[in-house]
Amino acid sequence: MAAANGPVLVYDGDCGVCTRLSRLTTTRVRAHAGDFAVSAYQDADLDALGLTPEQCDAALQWVGSDGRISTGQDAVARTLLAGRLPFKPIGAAILAPGVNALAGLAYRWVARNRHRLPGGTPACSLPAAQRPS
């Protein structure tokens, strides 16, 4: 799972919304399974990826082949850039200066409210240490 083997998208596997979106990413965004890996942080070798559970609990993480880490809306953008068309230009747009700030606001709102969204569960609103196992 190390980034040396290719990029990795790391999400919160305890979150229903995150899990649903990770499935969409693997079936709709990613053109080929070898383009990038998608893993719940609970199943990933976080040390090898240079991540902590706290980082992964707080936001989506993208670890590039070069080990560079992108978080939140930047992780979304990197994922879309690595995906198929028509997602690539959307990823580039998210990284544009003004758009990136707005995307950050939207990302943080979704992250704070993920337990209220379709597919969300009450566990999504709890810090990882307080979630039922």
Express each pLDDT in 59-114 by its tens digit. Answer: 999 999 999 999 999 999 999 999 999 999 999 999 999 999 999 999 999 988 88
CB 95 within 8 A of CB 74: yes
Cα 79 from Cα 91, distance rounded (Å): 7
What pLDDT, on the 0 to 100 scale, is given for residue 48?
97
Q: What is the DSSP letter of 32?
A: S
pLDDT tens-digit readout, 25-66: 999 999 999 999 999 999 999 999 999 999 999 999 999 999
Cα–Cα distance between 8 and 11 in angstroms, integer?
10
Residue 129: DSSP 8-state? G
Residue 115, exposed/middle/buried by CB under 10 A (0-12, 13-18, 19+)? middle
Q: What are phi and psi of 127, to 5 degrees?
A: -60, 155
